[in-house]
């Protein structure tokens, strides 16, 4: 089973945002993704980071994955299949749809200290936004 770490971040709230995705394929083989997201809030970036990870899973036919996030908001929304805030509902709807397409996929919360690789990638993605001056 693949282990994937995701993180979203923004410089400002809202501000330039990025998603960091670290894929541990085992035996020292890893993949790194730093995806600029344009302008959004930190919480939106957390949801989109998970969506991007699930998209990568589908593109690579990875059907058995464990996805770790340091966002309690995202973890609880996925677990309960519900979010109060209307702004997050479209993200959650898409995430739940993508999860249904995976054979075996878990999303679980981990502390930030265990998610440093994805955190660094999300910050790198923010810089990509800033350097291009292009916001999606």
Q: Domain tally for the chain?
A: 1
Tokens of 111: 């502390």
- Average of per-residue pLDDT values in the chain: 94
More confident residue, 130 or 116: 116
The answer to whether the bond into 73 is cis (omega within 30° of 0) is: no
CATH number at residue 48: 3.30.420.10
Please tell me the predicted confidence (pLDDT) of residue 129.
80
Strands 64-69 and 104-109: parallel
pLDDT tens by residue, 78-98? 999 999 999 999 999 999 999
Instruction: Point out the least confidently predicted range of 56-60, 100-104, 110-114.
Output: 100-104
Give, in order, the Cα–Cα distances in Å from 82 to each of 61, 74, 76, 131.
Answer: 27, 10, 8, 36
Tokens of 129: 């936004």
Domain extent for 99: 2-132
Please tell me the predicted confidence (pLDDT) of residue 135.
44
pLDDT tens by residue, 24-70? 998 989 999 999 999 999 999 999 999 999 999 999 999 999 999 99
Q: Where residue 132 falls among pLDDT bands split at 50, 70, 90?
A: low
Q: Which residue spans within the chain are E strands per DSSP?
A: 2-10, 15-24, 30-40, 64-69, 104-109
């Amino acid at each position: 089973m693949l282990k994937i770490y995701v993180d979203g971040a923004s410089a400002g709230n809202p501000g330039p945002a990025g998603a960091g995705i670290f894929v541990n394929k085992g035996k020292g083989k890893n993949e790194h993704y730093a995806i600029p997201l344009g302008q959004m809030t930190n919480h939106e970036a957390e949801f989109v980071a998970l969506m991007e990870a699930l998209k990568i899973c589908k593109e690579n036919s990875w059907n058995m994955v464990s996805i770790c996030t340091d966002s309690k908001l995202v973890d609880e929304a996925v677990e309960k299949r519900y979010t109060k805030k209307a702004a997050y509902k479209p993200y959650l709807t898409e995430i739940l749809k993508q999860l249904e397409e995976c054979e075996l996929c878990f999303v679980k919360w981990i502390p930030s200290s265990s998610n440093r690789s994805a955190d660094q990638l999300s910050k790198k993605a923010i810089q990509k936004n800033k350097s291009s001056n292009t916001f999606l």
